[in-house]
Amino acid sequence: MRKSTPAIAGALIAIAFASAAQAQSSTGTVKKVDADAQKITIDHGPIKNLNMEGMTMVFRVADPAMLKQVKAGDRIRFDADRVNGAYTVIKMTKGR
């Protein structure tokens, strides 16, 4: 019995996206929020999808409204990626 190629391809794409989403999550502590520049400084653990070890660094934010949810000292879980060549926080939740 021959399986449908589009169905298999769709399943593989779904698995790849699920794996990528999990790989992006990292935890950290907010060190500084710069709302005017739309940037946040985070002391973070490894970020697998960026091949990055834990360190403290400045990220841009995809949505400036995210910065209103946090302040220096807050623990966060976040997803980061390269957006137009810049390291960017694309998702963030507080207190994890």
Per-residue pLDDT of 34-57, as tens digits, reads 999 999 999 999 999 999 999 999
What is the domain-level CATH number for residue 27? 2.40.50.320
Whole-angstrom distance, CA of residue 96 vs CA of residue 44: 12
pLDDT at position 30, please? 98
Domain with 52, as residue range(s), is 5-94
Which H or E element spans position 21? helix 5-24
| DSSP annotation of 3 | P
The 10s digit of each residue's pLDDT in 17-39 is 444 444 468 999 999 999 999 99
pTM listed for this prediction = 0.74
Query: How many folded domains does the chain comprise?
Result: 1
